Structure 1
Amino acid sequence: MPEFRAIFLAQLIATLGNVIAQITLSVLVYQRSGSPLLSALTFALGFAPYLLGASLVSAVADRYPSRRVLVACEVVSCAVVAVMAVPGMPIPVLLGLLLVLGTVAPVFQGTRAASLPEVLSGAGYALGRSLLRMVSQTTQIAGFGVGGVVLIFLSPSQALLIPVAGFAASALLLRFGTRPRPARQAVASASIARASLSGVREVFAVKGLRPLLFMTWLPPMFAVAPEALAAPYAAQSGGGSTALVGLLLCAAPLGSVVGEVLSGTLLRPAQRVRWVVPVAAVMFVPLLGFALQPRPLVAAGLMFLCGLGFTYAMGLDQRTLDVVPETLRGRALTVTTAGLMVGQGVGFAAAGAAAEFLPAHVVVLSAGVAGLATLVLCGPAISTKRSAE
């Protein structure tokens, strides 16, 4: 469909620009400050504002037409990164602007997810979400490489002009490549912040949604442990080269892409919904192999298998869509996205903290056990009703 092609291309361009911006800002902050901590904060601050966006501005996703919200988010992102690109911008201002980007991101992602059922009907929604996840994963992998090459030839301030152009192009694609549709909810007298906070409470009150939210947030929080500890694991295994670390970092995202393709082509919609928990278990069973402290190449194979399990989200997406009322869809998916990103950020931090006291392979093994325990606790609460074929 022409509309989905525009959304797909906009996602690709914006994700690539966002990754380049992350790398460039990290380098720029380190060059200015000489502080590894401040440089690391440029990545950490990408997670923190998701809660702010979900709590205080998520009502925008339902209160205004989707196309208008999506375009506005990209225009704001374009303007923010353009200000970041101004030479000599103070570091506190750069970090503050990064918070703005992180606040806008969950609103954009929630609005886009909420608008997909209007573009793709029936089982097309889950497949469309899957395809967008795949392009995000592969573009992130490519973006880190592209960002590194770009910084060889351009200064950080010049390199930031690339994501500026990317966000502008994405805004144009969404503006002229998608149809205008009415808002899902009439504009109310309450402020955006009050309506957003009220919407969060309504989201948690939706019957049957809480188990789906926990199932969305908790497993990935444990599954990111191998990626979080890629560098220390390679070093502790006697193979700490940059190439091996890069291989470990790419293994799970590559497995995720392959898993999405296999699930989308081999499983029927009802099977994807019914097998959410067994497929999620694939994320953690391979991590038990870290008990043997495998060599980095074997560890990369286990992480690839772990990535296959991330496709459990396809069935979970359909269940979430079935449960959430249309008038609450934008806020619900914004909250879902925010919780997922924050959970992954917590997972990265927790794995790193644990590795200060335990060997990396023990931390990864523990994450696998904790992930399986999470599925045992959350799994029974997930409805096994078949979706319509």
Structure 2
Amino acid sequence: MRAVTWQGRHKVSVETVPDPEIVNPRDAILRVTSTAICGSDLHLYDRYIPGMRAGDVLGHEFMGEVVDTGAASTLEIGQRVVVPFTISCGQCFFCERQLYSACDNANPSETRDASDVMMGHAMGAAFGYAHLTGGYAGGQAEYVRIPYSDVGPVVIPEDLADDDVLFLSDILPTGWQAALNADIEPGDTVAIWGCGPVGLFTIQSALLLGAARVIAIDHFPTRLALARKYGAEVLDYREVDVREALDEMTGGIGPDACIDCVGMESHGFTLDNVVDQVKAKFYLATERPHALRQAILACRKGGRLSIPGVYGGFADKFPLGQLMEKGLTVKSGQTHVQRYTGELLRMIREGKFDTVSLISHHASLEDAADMYRRWHDEQNLYTKIVLKPGMARGTVRAVQQMEQV
């Protein structure tokens, strides 16, 4: 089969790799019909996440048709399913508490030792995301093996198109959990750093949970326009001092809740971020947490901080004193996708989420290398890319005529 493989920093290629096979009775094999490039894939592309090996198959946002099942799978051949990016057994201490991304069984013993040392406890498992999370082949491929297929996949009704539901795999539940972790109360003002796909779903989620105002912070005009379309007020951090603007907009109090949807590769030319970029370039630091620092300083006293943005190691110049003295409540973590998919599928069917307008392009799986480069370098034009196995090479279709701020 053909699959997108990681070959090194800023290098991916589409290669012929062995077809997946059933290796456990709970497995299923999926023929992939849609698979997306995620913003967190860029951390792999930039080589900031350790544990990648040349030839690893990428991709953790995908869906498709079941073509084979193990004896203990609950899926049936021919069903359309969306697969959560988290691989979870459903039976361990953490899965029983619906903490699916912390599953203690899915990360194989041969890969868990390194993450145990690095993180304090072994990480949960995920598709296509480094050997720290199990080394599982990802879904940017024609076919993919689904471990624990009786726990994760969501069966999709035939009347819903792939684009309607694909993001149940990751970014929609991630935005939903990000908003839930902010403990939003009716009337709250919520500030969100980052208007990438996760940030855009977080905006929609915060408003659905009762926020009176959502203030979105970014610098790409197209993303800011989408944020405004979804109901947010917007700040372009190139044009304003974000902390001053948030103080002015909240009467000097600060937002009730702040959500960091940026993660470890903040943009910008503030002094702290420039120093972070230099250190990261020479592997003297693993994070560029400017957005997180700014969120901590901007949040009101006694406020809430939610961190769905991906971080991979140790942060320099972290404002721990400010976080403590302001009495902030912090919630973070990888998304417990399986906890939310049923509810979110219902909300999609009720029209409560716009799951389509953030998609900018459909492209062939064979064009993945070029799409990774464009996603990395042209984020104002490429807001979300969906790869389609079987589409002819060289076929790139713009899905939306993107509005500018």
What's the TM-score bracket when you normalise by the shorter of the two chains? under 0.3
Please, what TM-score do these two structures have when normalized by structure 1?
A: 0.27
The higher relative CO (CA closer than 8 Å, separation ≥ 6) is in 1
Please, what TM-score do these two structures have when normalized by structure 2?
A: 0.27
Bigger share in strand? 2
